[in-house]
Each structure stands twice: as C-alpha cells, then as structure tokens.
Amino acid sequence: MTSEFDGPAFVRSLSSGPGVYMMRDADDKVLYVGKARNLKRRVGSYFNRQDKGPRINLMVRKIARMEVSLTRTEAEALLLENEWIKAYRPRFNINLRDDKSYPWIRIDRRHQFPRISFYRGSRKNDAAYFGPFSSAGAVRESLNQIYRLLGLRQCRDTVFANRTRPCLQYQINRCSAPCVGYISPEDYARDVKAASAFLKGRSEAVIELLGERMQAASEGLEFEKAAALRDQIQALQKVRASQYVTDAANDLDVIALTREGAHVAVQVVEFRHGRNMGGQCFFPGNLDASWDDHALMSAFIGQYYAERQPPSEILLSSEPAEASLWKEALAARREGKVGLRWNVRGDRSQWLKMALANASDALRRRLAERDKVGQGLAALSELIDLSMPPERMECFDISHSSGTETVASCVVFGPEGAMKKHYRQFNIEGIEPGDDYAAMEQALRRRYRRVLEESGAVPDLLVIDGGKGQVSSARKVMEALGLDAVPILGVAKGPGRKAGHETFIYGDRQVKPGPYHPASHLVQQIRDEAHRFAISAHRRRRQKRAQASPLEQIAGVGPQRRQKLLQHFGGLQGLKKASAEDLARVPGISQSLAERIVAGLQDVS
C-alpha cells in the first residue's frame, strides 16, 4: 500500500546540520534508521525522481511518518544511529546481531555474602555487572577461575539460607562456605573486591591481596591457611602465564569479515589485558546487494560497540567506510584514543588470519546446514503435496514427570534452519495430570491467540509430536481460532521408537518416508529440537520447585521476612521447631501470621 506521506514538505522543514532520522510505517513500526552530515540533503535524496532500486523504492512507499534528532557533530550522529538500530531493529537496516543477548558476570551486592554468577538480561537492579563477553564459554572460564582462586559462592539464596553444613563445592576448594560461617563477612568482602579487580583485568591487585593474606596467616602461625593462599597465588600466576598474548598488553579486538555471494560472517576475538576472552561469529541479516565489505564493516562496528566499551585497539580485516569518523566516534565513547588498524604485520596479521579462518569455517558450516534444510523442505513439500515449501514451520512437544510440572515447547524453523529467538515455552496449569491432549490444546490456544492479537507470523506448517489424537486436538483448537487453513502434520513414533521409522499423519493420509528420505531427516531434526527444548524447560521448572523454600508458599512472607526468620532461628530446621509464640517475637511477625507460618510448615513436613 502506497503511503500518503508528503516527503518533500517534510524535507523543507529540516535543518542542514548533522543528525539521525527514523522512518515509520502506517503501523508505527520502524522501517529504517540513518545518520546524515546534512539532514535536509540526505533525507531529501529519498524523495527525488532518481530510481533507487526495488528495496529502497519499497521502503519509501511504506513511509507514513518520519522523526529526526539533531546532534552537535557527525560522530555523535553515528553513535546515536547505532543506538537506535539496536533499540528498534528496523526492517530495512542490516542486522548484525545474534539472536541472544550478550552474557555477563553478575555480583549481587544486596546480600551480605554476594553470589557471583553467569547472567543474561536487563541490568537494572542493584548489582555489579562485568562484560559483556563474546561467548558463554568465556564467562564460564572466568567464573571457574574465580571459584577456584577466591571461593565465592555460586548457590542461589534459597539454598544458601537453608544450609546446615558445607556442600561439595567447599570440599573441592571452590567455595569458602559462608553459608555456615566458615569465613567472616569482612574477609568475604575482600574476596569480592579481589574478584572485581580480576574481572577488570587487574590480576596484579589480586596477587597482592592474596600475598598480604598469606603473610598475615603465616605471622599468625596458621600455616595450613598460608600454604593454601600460596597455592592460590601460584595458580593465578600460572593462569596469567598461559593466557598471556605477546605484545597484547593493551585491550584488543580482532574483527574479520568474510563473504560468499550474498552470505556474510563476521568473527570477533577479544583480548583483555593479555587474556584471550574467546570469540563469537555473527551472521548479518537484511543484506542489500549494494553493500560492500567496507560498508558492512562500518555497520558491524556501529552495532557491536553500541552497547559495549571499545578497546584501545581494534584490528580489522578490511577498512570500514568513514574510518576517520569511526575513530573519532569510538574515542568519544571510550573517552580515550582508539586505534583502528587493517593493514598489519607480525603477530597481529596472524591473529587476523586466525579470525578469518574461523569466520570462513563458520560460514561454510552455516551454508551447508542451510542447503540441507532447503532440501528437506522441498522434499517434505513434495511428499505431502504442499503447494510450495514452507517458509515457517512450528513444532510443539509436551514434557512432564508423572503428570507434574508439565511444560509445552514451541520451536520454529525456516529456510535458514532453527529460528531460536522465536522459540516459546508454556507452563501448563489447570489440567488433569498426564493429560497430554489437554496440555497440547492449552499450549496451542495460548500461542496462536497471542499471535492473532499481536498480528504475528502464522506458520506455513504446524508440526505436532504425536499421532491421530494429538493432531485431532490441534485441529480443533486451530479451527476455533479461525486458523483452519494452517496445514497440520502429525509425527507418530515408529516401532520401538526407532528414529527414522515415524509415520507422518497429514489430513486423512499416513505416509512412512523411511529413514533415508530428506523429509524424514528434517522432521527428525525439528522434532528432536522441540523435545530438547521441552525437556530443558521442564527440568528448570522441576529444579526451581525443588530448590524453593517452603516459606515462599506462605502468603504474607516476603523476601525480607524470610531472611529475618531464617537468621533468627538459624535456618529452616530451627524455624520448623519454633512455636507460633516464638515466631511472634520476631519483629514484623504478627500472631496471626505466625500461626499461618506454623500451619504452612506442618503441611510440607
């Protein structure tokens, strides 16, 4: 539908200074974000008579309104442009982000004995965050070093509050057991401070702190403690020696871009204070044929450093577009000089070669997987007589333990393979335990009611892990929602649940493609992924229930009251032995609440 937006009139109102512009469609969704040295001239170029190609012409036709934000310099506009791209994910901008948020290390400062842990998500509460890291492996490596060297706790608060003796982590020298008072709050606070210094790359400060503690233990004739601290220092020095990279004393990122036709991969390897923090590969989306390596590298730099501090040096496999402008913008973000280099020799050229080799290998494997999925989609379409290969397949599976903690999973596949950012899970409630039909109906109803309400994407093929009964339940729900046009494929397990011998149920037909058919391989992959995702969600739910304190189930007992009660009675076992009168003596606990707590604890005993 052609927009009625009057572009030339909007352009006449614009400033000739630098800034960022945003295009929105009739549904107020962001189409495109761009920056300009001269807003009037740049935005005006979209509305002249010159042909700009089918992609840009389509975008301009969809514009319903535009917004602009003036900046003081073009470098500021460059940074703001990438902040907006990161926030709005516009349809017509190149998307160089992966599906998941970056991993961080989190220290919860609200607790007397803070926990250090792996973390993904928003960073709004009162905690210290270190990162982001390029990969989950880099986070876990750093955490393992901290557990081994400093013994910070890794258990959740509910487990910590209910311990009466040290756990296995203490026995293997990976925790100092603050849960049972084996370390003072002051010593633990010093360990937290040392961990923060370590994560900031200041390992010398950690060695110095451990040395002071070793000397104090030796002077106090605590020779076993002094020997343990000596071993910690030697381990840390060994880690530094094994991870040191020649001539990389400063922070350094290596970014290598490779392409094959219209497909691109970008590999990033991070070095921080001489330590290799690992790498990650990104695959661009929304590519335009007119973008060359220089433009792609420029777009990647903008999006990658939109949410992280740039290092003092960045090695690139090719010169980015507007390189001098990027040096200025990144230096302003870092509040210090940033060196962008692409023609390098010596060790740095070897690091670039290594990153390029990784990018090429990742792209080769991705394209091979894509071809395999494409063949499977074509074969499946032919097997069940679809008019064309499906662009979007959604598969559902149910997981539970004897009817409890039931979870349904929904995984999504397309021509590129798994679309993990579209995965969903559903905690099933209010059904008879073990009723898989009711669980499937609830999951489908919740999933596609929301899709309809939010005008989301409807699948071209719905895959159900089950036989005729499950397919019948799914068809009933889809018809009730007005989605009866969506084809449904049931996958019934074969004899002995042997992989490759499943029966496909499609309408009134039953097809057995056999273990060597490409369609069978694809459906197995999708079904196994749905099963894995459901099992993982079910285990997390079951573990959360197992670790939950019985106090959490009692109305009126929030986190602060739980902590007061556990501290007052020395843990859950002491609390269970207390009477209502004993409980009522705790500040903030009324007599009626004390009686509810006693009754609630008796129910779970």
CATH number at 81 reads 3.40.1440.10
Where residue 134 falls among pLDDT bands split at 50, 70, 90? low
Position 443, amino acid: A
User: Which of 363, 381, 410 marks a domain boundary?
Assistant: 363
Regarding whether 421 and 335 lie in a shared domain, the answer is no
Query: Do 539 and 555 sit in the same domain of this protein?
Result: no
**Residue 101 banded pLDDT, cuts 50, 70, 90:** low
Percent of the residues in the chain that have a pLDDT greater than 70, as a whole number: 90
pTM for the model? 0.53
536 plus 510 within the same structural domain = yes
Domain end point (choices 88, 118, 152): 88
Same domain, 357 and 492: no
Q: How confident is the model over 339-345, as a mean pLDDT?
A: 86
The neighbouring-strand residues paired with 19 are: 36, 70
Residue 229 lies in a domain: no
Does residue 274 contact residue 248 with C-beta atoms inside 8 Å? yes
pLDDT of residue 369: 77
pLDDT in tens, 363-379: 887 888 788 888 888 88
Number of domains in the chain: 4
- Residue 28 lies inside a defined structural domain of this protein: yes
Domain annotation covers residue 238: no
Query: Residue 247 pLDDT > 60, yes or no?
Result: no
Are 522 and 559 within one domain? no
Domain identity same for 279 and 330: yes
Report yes or no on 118 lying in a domain: no
Taking the C-alpha atoms of residue 199 and residue 373, their distance in angstroms, rounded to an integer, is 41
pLDDT above 90 for 394: yes
Question: Out of 138-142, 398-402, 460-464, which region has the weakest mean confidence (pLDDT)?
Answer: 138-142
The rounded distance, in Å, linking the Cα atoms of 537 and 534 is 5
Coil, strand or helix at 203: helix
CATH of the domain at 356: 3.30.420.340
Domain identity same for 410 and 513: yes
Q: For residue range 149-161, what is the model confidence (pLDDT) as tens digits?
A: 788 898 888 788 8
What is the pLDDT confidence band of residue 430, given thresholds at 50, 70 and 90?
confident
pLDDT band at residue 230 using 50, 70 and 90 as cut-offs = confident
Instruction: Look at residue 593 and tell me whether its pLDDT is greater than 50.
Output: yes
582, part of any domain: yes
Which DSSP string do the residues of 313-345 spell out, in sequence order? EEEESSPPTTHHHHHHHHHHHHTS--EEE-S--
Tell me, what amino acid is at 451?
A: V
Q: Domain of 38? A: 7-88
Structural domain contains residue 324: yes
pLDDT digits (tens, 9 = 90+) for 501-537: 888 988 888 888 888 888 888 888 888 888 888 888 8
pLDDT at 1: 47
Helices 185-199, 203-219: axis angle to 10 degrees equals: 150
At 203 the pLDDT is: 66
In a domain, 168, yes or no: no
473 and 493 part of one domain: yes
Do 522 and 428 lie in one domain? The reply is yes
Confidence of residue 44 (pLDDT cuts 50, 70, 90): very high
In a domain, 190, yes or no: no
Same domain, 352 and 464: no
Residue 311 and residue 274 share a domain? yes
**How many CB atoms sit inside 10 A of residue 107's CB?**
20
Residue 393's Cβ-side half-sphere holds a number of Cα atoms within 13 Å equal to 32
Q: Residue 370 CB: number of other CB atoms within 10 A?
A: 15
Verify that 312 and 345 share a domain, yes or no.
yes
CATH number, domain at 566? 1.10.150.20
Confidence bin at 257 (pLDDT 50/70/90):
very high
Instruction: Choose one of 501, 516, 545: the last residue of a domain.
Output: 545
- The answer, yes or no, to whether residue 241 has pLDDT greater than 60, is no
Q: Compare 291 and 380 and report the one with higher pLDDT.
A: 380
Q: Which residue has the tokens 């992989």?
A: 499
Cα angle 360, 361, 365 (rounded to 5 degrees) comes to: 115
